[in-house]
């Protein structure tokens, strides 16, 4: 369903060398994973024997126990459609190999073999195991294994090696690498991914040392990001031998560079880690990445050595997405520490971009200040850019232009903010100019329509542009990503500037950007007014205030909640998801906030405006890109202004 598949990392109890006990525990964990409807279930490296058997690997008794254990595991998969990946030693042509048996519905689909055998520091695996590169054959028959089952089967060939991709009925392609393979300069998973594997399963027995957990985690995250892949990592638990080492049972699933689940205990064993993969993210990014496709071409010789095993007679169950993480605010980190760090980095990028433009042009920044959040953030960026260039705050040209809809609160806040930043506010009242313009058009002044509203927006832009010409300035735009997506801006009005700093920042993030400035005390004199601005309702203030002088025109009442629109923006533009999939995720994320009817209503609004307002984005000014989504026609979104919305609306209407 929606390319969701559930995986399980199983870390069972283990007694080193006791294959009977270990198999009992593996079967217990399998039963638990079945209860969670996991599709792919992975156990640690050498889980059947325990990793630390050392010279016991040479004992025939242990290897006989391995065969009995594998027989019991295969027996347990009758009428099961899940994929099981379990680590066990394999004796082949008088060589021992460290392998992963991939099992599904009473069959061994393949035996993936470890390539890089560590023999340094605390590791001396080469004493027992040979590399996959020394294999003398690429397949073996089931009968050669000597595994006895409780039922009769016809003999069949099993692929064996370090070049196997498993394709389960065209639903998902995955490959297995083992522990040290990940740590190699060029990991097998690199070639697997370029050859089509979307999920890499790494079964491991990685001992714990100081700081190794974070390093291991960074490796997994990086590999999943570089390969545009899912990466399931499962490692041996604390029941392994502690003769010289300690094992921690570290398991995690990384998706395209982000960890979506990880075991919490530092030293752990006897647990199950469940996560839902969203292969839609992987497939989208591989589709749009020319680098990925170029790399596949460059390494075509290595890819040609891969064997893709297609399993057509069993249908891998998909997931209902219960464990899919769908944050209500996908652009915003979940913790305060991460959020402030992210906002600081973005602020520095905005400042850096504007500072460079100001230094090249020798201009003064000209900002129209309304007392709202967007213009506030732009003003803060401009002030900091001047500070970065070593220029005086008086070079900041901040113009506030009250008109028909300006409230006392926003007007006073704009003046106070400008002064707090060390600049002198320039007040240009545009009411008379707008009235004259409307009279020239023969427009009824009582008609509070789009002409009435846009006259003010365009007059403000004209003032800013002409004043910039007068003093050698550069008009810095205030519009944000959400407004661009919805086209919630006046064409050749606030849609236009000479440089934009907020264009790839969604509305939900703008608030936290200002909050981080307050938290970091960057402009201490402005702290109080910034706090009040954050509490002010979002409004274009183009309609007169109410009888009590309060803001009467609230944007979210007109176009819908920005948190919903930012959610739609993220999943439609970052990952190209269908309306149906976005609707599913939105229902999951906002189940306590909006009804299905409300979500559908605002989704309809989003798609209609996304398509109809592209002409405004086609001629948007230069501006710095700071995040994963941008609408610049020179960057992330190249879209015809007259594209048909029919297919998207047909799907939305069917929800």
CA–CA separation, 478 and 428 (whole Å): 18
Residues near 96 by beta carbon (within 8 Å), at least 6 away in sequence: 57, 58, 89, 90, 128, 129, 130
Residues near 224 by beta carbon (within 8 Å), at least 6 away in sequence: 200, 230, 231, 254, 255, 256, 257, 258
Q: Where are the alpha helices (DSSP H) in 247-393?
A: 279-288, 290-298, 300-304, 336-361, 373-388
Assigned token pair, 166:
């498993």
Helix axes 507-519 and 336-361, enclosed angle (nearest 10): 90
Catalytic residue among 53, 179, 343, 489: 179
411, 404 Cβ separation under 8 angstroms: no
Assigned token pair, 311:
């399993």
Q: What is the distance of C-alpha 295 from the center of its chain?
A: 22
User: Strand order in 473-477's β-sheet?
Assistant: 426-427, 397-400, 364-368, 473-477, 499-500
14, 20 Cβ separation under 8 angstroms: no
Q: What is the distance of C-alpha 493 from the center of its chain?
A: 34
CA–CA separation, 511 and 380 (whole Å): 13
Helix axes 596-612 and 562-569, enclosed angle (nearest 10): 60
CB neighbourhood size of 99 (10 A): 27
Handedness of CA 234, 237, 242, 243 (dihedral sign): negative
Assigned token pair, 468:
């910039």
Residues near 539 by beta carbon (within 8 Å), at least 6 away in sequence: 372, 405, 551, 553, 554, 555
169 φ/ψ sector (left φ>0, alpha ψ -120 to 50, else beta) = left
Catalytic residue among 114, 221, 364, 616: 114
CB neighbourhood size of 148 (10 A): 12
Q: What is the distance of C-alpha 162 from the center of its chain?
A: 30
Residues near 100 by beta carbon (within 8 Å), at least 6 away in sequence: 45, 85, 86, 87, 88, 111, 112, 113, 176, 178, 201, 203
247, 236 Cβ separation under 8 angstroms: yes
Q: Is 179 a catalytic residue?
A: yes
Long-range contacts: 433-440, Cβ < 8 Å, 24+?
433/459, 434/403, 434/404, 434/459
Q: What is the distance of C-alpha 475 from the center of its chain?
A: 34
Q: Is 114 a catalytic residue?
A: yes
Return the active site residues.
45, 114, 179
């Amino acid at each position: 369903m929606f390319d969701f598949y559930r995986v399980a990392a199983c870390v069972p109890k283990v007694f080193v060398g006791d294959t009977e006990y270990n198999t009992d525990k593996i079967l217990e964990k399998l039963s638990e994973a079945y209860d969670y409807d996991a599709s792919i279930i992975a156990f640690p490296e050498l889980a059947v024997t325990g990793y630390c058997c050392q010279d016991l690997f040479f004992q025939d008794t242990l290897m006989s126990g391995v065969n009995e254990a594998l027989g019991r595991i295969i027996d347990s998969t009758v009428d099961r459609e899940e994929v099981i990946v379990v680590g066990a030693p394999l004796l082949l042509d008088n060589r021992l190999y460290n392998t992963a048996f991939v099992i599904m519905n009473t069959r061994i689909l393949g035996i993936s073999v470890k390539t890089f055998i560590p023999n340094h520091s605390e590791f001396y695996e080469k004493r027992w195991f040979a590399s996959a590169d020394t294999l003398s054959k690429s397949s073996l028959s089931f009968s050669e294994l000597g595994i006895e089952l409780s039922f009769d089967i016809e003999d069949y060939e099993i692929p064996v090696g370090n070049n196997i991709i498993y394709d389960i009925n065209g639903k998902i392609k995955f490959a297995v690498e083992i522990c040290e393979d990940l740590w190699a300069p060029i990991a097998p998973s690199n070639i697997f991914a370029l050859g089509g594997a979307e999920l890499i399963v790494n079964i491991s027995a990685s001992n714990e040392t100081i700081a190794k957990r974070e390093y291991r985690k960074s490796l997994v995250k990086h590999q999943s990001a570089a390969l545009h892949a899912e990466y399931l990592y499962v490692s041996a638990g604390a029941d392994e031998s502690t003769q010289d080492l300690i094992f921690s049972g570290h398991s995690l699933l990384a998706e395209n560079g982000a960890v979506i689940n990880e075991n919490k205990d530092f030293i752990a064993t006897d647990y199950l880690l469940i996560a839902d993969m969203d292969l839609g993210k992987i497939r989208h990014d591989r589709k749009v990445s020319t680098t990925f496709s170029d790399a596949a071409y460059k390494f075509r010789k290595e890819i040609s050595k891969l064997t893709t095993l297609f399993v057509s007679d069993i249908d891998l169950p998909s997931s209902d997405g219960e464990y899919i993480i769908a944050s209500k605010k996908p652009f915003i980190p979940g913790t305060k520490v991460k959020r402030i760090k992210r906002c600081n980095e973005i602020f520095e990028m905005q400042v850096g971009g504007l500072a460079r433009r100001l230094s090249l042009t020798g201009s003064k920044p000209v900002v129209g200040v309304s007392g709202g959040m967007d213009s506030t953030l732009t003003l803060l960026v401009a002030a900091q850019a001047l500070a970065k260039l070593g220029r005086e705050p008086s070079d900041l040209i901040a113009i506030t232009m009250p008109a028909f809809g300006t409230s006392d609160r926003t007007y006073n806040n704009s003046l106070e903010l400008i002064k707090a930043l060390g600049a002198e506010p320039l007040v240009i009242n545009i009411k008379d100019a707008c009235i004259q313009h409307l009279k020239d058009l023969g427009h009824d002044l009582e008609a509070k329509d789009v002409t009435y509203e846009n006259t003010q927006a365009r007059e403000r832009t004209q003032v800013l542009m002409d004043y910039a010409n007068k003093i050698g300035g550069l008009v810095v735009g205030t519009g944000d990503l959400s407004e661009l997506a919805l086209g919630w801006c006046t064409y050749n009005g606030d849609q236009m500037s000479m440089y934009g700093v907020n264009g790839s920042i969604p509305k939900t993030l703008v608030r936290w950007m200002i909050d981080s400035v307050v938290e970091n005390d960057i402009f201490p004199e402005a702290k109080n007014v910034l706090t009040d601005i954050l509490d002010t309702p979002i409004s274009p203030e183009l309609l007169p205030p109410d009888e009590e002088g309060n803001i009467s025109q609230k944007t979210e009442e007109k176009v819908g909640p920005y948190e919903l629109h930012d959610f739609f923006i993220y999943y439609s533009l970052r990952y190209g998801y269908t309306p149906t999939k976005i609707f599913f995720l939105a229902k999951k994320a906002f189940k306590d906030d909006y009804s299905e009817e409300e979500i559908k209503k605002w989704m309809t609004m989003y798609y209609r405006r996304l398509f109809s307002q592209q002409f405004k984005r086609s001629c948007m000014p230069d501006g710095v890109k700071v995040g994963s989504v941008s609408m610049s026609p020179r960057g992330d979104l190249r879209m015809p202004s007259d594209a048909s919305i029919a297919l998207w609306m047909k799907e939305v209407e069917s929800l």
